[in-house]
């Protein structure tokens, strides 16, 4: 009985835990981290704007303390920490965080250096014109309101959003199991696409984006991704773009300086300069002599080269590789769609615009239904007023003499209760003759307005034209108003990244590369360093030592049959401590580097041989890759098999021997060259393992040397008896403990 009870309690606990965690996960997705596709806002931002609207903090009104705003938000709508709400408010006011700020701040709201804003008791805020556009017609029965956390107040579910805020300002957030990262864009480009989409809902992505150029960041900068790459990203809703700083060369008498005027979006200037300074101190960029920050309201970073032997473009190319002056920015347009159902989904830019236009169409219908209802109510009341003027004396008599004037008016003139109430509420001065003329004029105008609204609600074409007119009107605001015109100007430019990737031939320097048995990597400046001068950790030893140049690249092959690329111009470790090789390539826990091969401009071929006797011949240049994950070259069908040997081809034949003492020599010239695969059988080994292999010419003969005693050698000058077809077992050679021998002068 007790055991069953314990099992039930544990089972209930697990079920409750699952339920609560799922509830938490869903709440972070739908109520915290992801924006609504309709107004582009998360709940905290929507509550901030609504609270400020309720406080009458319009763009033309006076400022109020941020503490007052935050207090209203957390007290009425958002029961979370005040600092989190204040941080959200501050970000909405920062012109380097938001392309079109939704809040206007007064006081210290932080800066691009990463300095913190002043406390909320010191700063003040009010809404901007943009946020007023987002909330425009909010009180015209366009949107639904829902009770707050304790049902004591009401808050909007979503704003009407006549301004396409999601695409204009972007959004970022991390939920449980998903994230969003939408960059800001130029408002005029968005509105142009919206007009195209209204005209033709079946428009292709390429036609839709013909006048769209991608992100437009508040901090400017230059996008180096191609137009085709940008269009593909926005067709899928996710991808990565490259963004770099805007810079110019300033000539002086003896040399030049580099002036950086815009930095990539989301990068703190102070940390950027610290990282550049570190690169100078540790000699990662030894060509820089000085870095100065001369910024005021505008960014101004001065970089001074040591000499003019390196051009400004070459120097900037190296700086881009080693600093955040060029970044890769992820785009993931994951939003809440499907109205109040709040379903998260990654959408293309066309899908986002479609859903925003659908929302705007719904707002158009609801607002005009409200205007129609309001006009009909007013007409109804005015028709009651006309009864008064046509029957003035009789109406006055009823009001003066009747015990229940309302009922008597309804009976006498067939009025509604609302008409009777409005007549009884009239002031005496409204009985002037002039007032009768005004009422007749108002009635005529209202009937005209009512007929127009009915025509609009009954015609899809008129609704479409009205939506077009609304967007054109918004476009005109960004053309006519001086302040908005400046905001509508594109800030982020473009640069051909491929055309500006400079090979730094003029600043190539000699380096010595060291990789230890335990996987520690380091480069030393110059070629003069001797082996005995290289200090390594106790218990470790040097596995590879090569004298190279700073623009060289090498291939690292692992026992998993993978090839990893190491570009020395991106891995400059001179004057730094040893770094783990896993920092630069993604090795599995039991994966080891078995060979390091230098780049060869002659496109040499490589022989890959597994411990179970399978092999591949591949072209070296096809082994390079651009990612830390490397390239899978050789696959293994046997779980006990792995890559044993890899070396360049230097002769017409391959000689290999196994732990059973069998030697096989075969011609490799007719073997098919491949880029990857599981390989073919080079030597049949049964239960044995491959010990060593090399390439040679048959006339060369072979010499085997003992690992334990280098003087112990075994020579074969005549290999004729050992030459056979690939895939044979080979012939036995009379050596004991053959697994302790290897080929002399192996051609690797």
Is residue 185 classed as helix, strand or coil in its secondary structure? strand
Alpha-carbon gap, residue 42 to 30, rounded angstroms: 9
Q: Report how far residue 262's alpha carbon sits from residue 402's, in angstroms, rounded to the nearest whole number.
A: 80
CA distance 665 to 720: 9
Own/partner contacts of 345-351, CB < 8 Å, gap of 24 or more, are 346/236, 346/237, 346/238, 347/37, 347/237, 348/205, 348/234, 348/235, 348/236, 348/237, 349/167, 349/193, 349/208, 349/209, 349/212, 349/234, 349/235, 349/237, 350/197, 350/203, 350/205, 350/208, 350/235, 351/237
Q: What are phi and psi of 96, to 5 degrees?
A: -100, -10
Could you tell me which residues are beta bridge partners of residue 106? 124
Active site residue 564: no
Which of the 8 DSSP states describes residue 33? I
Rounded (10°) CA dihedral 458, 461, 465, 466: 10
Which of helix, strand or coil describes residue 714? strand
- Cβ contact 382:422 at 8 Å: no
**Exposure class string for 224-235: b at 16+ Cβ within 10 A, else e:** bbeeebbbebbb
Q: Select from 611, 586, 636, 593 the least CA-distant residue to 686.
A: 611
Token pair recorded at residue 586: 């993604």
Asked if residues 189 and 212 have their Cβ atoms less than 8 Å apart, the reply is yes
Q: At 631, which helix (H) or strand (E)?
A: strand 631-632
* CB 257 within 8 Å of CB 239: no
Question: Which one from 21, 24, 122, 483 is the annotated catalytic residue?
Answer: 122
- Report the catalytic residues: 122
């Amino acid at each position: 009985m007790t055991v069953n009870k314990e099992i039930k309690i544990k089972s209930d606990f697990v079920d409750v835990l699952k339920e609560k965690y799922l509830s938490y996960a869903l709440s972070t997705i739908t109520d915290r981290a992801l924006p609504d596709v309709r107004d582009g806002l998360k709940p905290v931002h929507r509550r901030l704007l609504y609270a400020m609207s309720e406080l009458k903090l319009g763009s033309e009104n006076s400022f109020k303390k941020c503490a007052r705003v935050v207090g209203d938000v957390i007290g009425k709508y958002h029961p979370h920490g005040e600092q989190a709400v204040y941080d959200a408010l501050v970000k909405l006011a920062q012109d380097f965080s938001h392309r079109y700020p939704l809040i206007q701040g007064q006081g210290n709201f932080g800066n691009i250096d990463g300095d913190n804003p002043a406390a909320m008791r010191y700063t003040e805020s009010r809404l901007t014109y943009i946020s007023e556009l987002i909330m425009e017609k909010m009180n015209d029965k366009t949107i639904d309101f829902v009770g707050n956390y304790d049902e004591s107040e009401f808050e909007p579910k979503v704003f009407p959003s006549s301004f396409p805020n999601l695409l204009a300002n972007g959004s970022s957030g991390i939920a449980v199991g998903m994230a969003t990262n939408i960059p800001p864009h130029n408002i005029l480009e968005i509105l142009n696409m919206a007009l195209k989409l209204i005209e033709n809902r079946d428009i292709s992505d390429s036609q839709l984006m013909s006048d769209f150029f991608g992100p437009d960041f508040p901090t400017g900068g230059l996008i180096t991704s191609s137009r085709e790459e940008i269009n593909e990203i926005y067709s899928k809703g996710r991808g990565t773009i490259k963004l770099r700083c805007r810079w110019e060369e300033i000539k002086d008498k003896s040399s030049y300086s580099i002036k950086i005027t815009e930095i990539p979006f989301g990068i703190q200037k102070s940390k950027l300069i610290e990282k550049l300074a570190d690169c100078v101190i540790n000699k990662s960029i030894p060509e820089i002599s000085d870095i100065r920050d001369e910024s005021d309201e505008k960014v101004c970073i001065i970089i001074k080269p040591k000499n003019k032997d390196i051009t400004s473009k070459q120097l900037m190319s190296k700086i881009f590789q080693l600093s955040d002056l060029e970044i890769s920015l992820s785009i993931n347009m994951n939003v809440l769609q499907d109205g109040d159902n709040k379903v998260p989904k990654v959408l293309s830019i066309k899908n986002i615009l479609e859903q925003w236009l659908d929302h705007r169409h719904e707002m158009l219908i609801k607002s005009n239904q409200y205007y129609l209802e309001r006009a009909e109510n007013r007409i109804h009341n005015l028709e009651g007023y006309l009864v008064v003027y046509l029957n003035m004396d009789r109406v006055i008599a009823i009001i003066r003499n009747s015990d229940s004037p309302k009922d008597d008016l309804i009976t006498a003139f067939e009025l509604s209760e609302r008409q009777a109430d409005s007549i009884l509420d009239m002031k005496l001065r409204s009985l002037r003759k002039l007032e009768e003329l005004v009422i007749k004029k108002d009635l005529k105008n209202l009937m005209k307005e009512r007929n127009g609204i009915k025509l609009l609600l009954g015609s899809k074409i008129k609704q479409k034209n009205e939506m077009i007119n609304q967007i054109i009107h918004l476009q005109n605001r960004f053309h006519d108003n001086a302040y908005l015109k400046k905001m509508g100007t594109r800030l982020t430019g473009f640069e051909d990244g491929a055309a500006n990737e400079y090979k730094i031939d003029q600043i190539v320097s000699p380096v010595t590369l060291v990789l230890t048995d335990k996987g520690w990597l380091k480069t030393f400046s110059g070629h003069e360093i001797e082996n005995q001068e290289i200090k390594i950790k106790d218990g470790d030893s040097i596995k590879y030592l090569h004298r190279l140049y700073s623009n060289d690249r090498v291939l690292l092959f692992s026992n998993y049959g993978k090839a990893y690329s190491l570009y020395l111009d991106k891995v400059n470790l001179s004057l730094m401590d040893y770094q783990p090789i896993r920092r630069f390539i993604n090795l599995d826990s039991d994966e080891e580097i078995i060979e390091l091969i230098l780049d060869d401009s002659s496109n040499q071929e490589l022989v890959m041989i597994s411990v179970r006797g399978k092999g591949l011949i591949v072209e070296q240049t096809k082994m390079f890759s651009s990612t830390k994950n490397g390239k899978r070259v050789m696959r293994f069908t046997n779980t006990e098999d792995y890559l044993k040997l890899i070396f360049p081809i230097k002769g017409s034949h391959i000689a290999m021997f196994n732990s059973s003492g069998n030697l096989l020599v075969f011609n490799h010239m007719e073997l098919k060259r491949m880029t990857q695969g599981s390989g073919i059988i080079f030597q049949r080994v049964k239960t044995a393992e491959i010990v060593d292999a090399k390439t040679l010419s048959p006339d060369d003969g072979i010499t085997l040397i003992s690992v334990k005693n280098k003087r112990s050698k075994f020579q074969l000058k005549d290999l004729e008896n050992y030459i056979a077809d690939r895939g044979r077992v080979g012939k036995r050679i009379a050596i004991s403990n053959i697994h302790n021998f290897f080929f002399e002068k192996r051609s690797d």
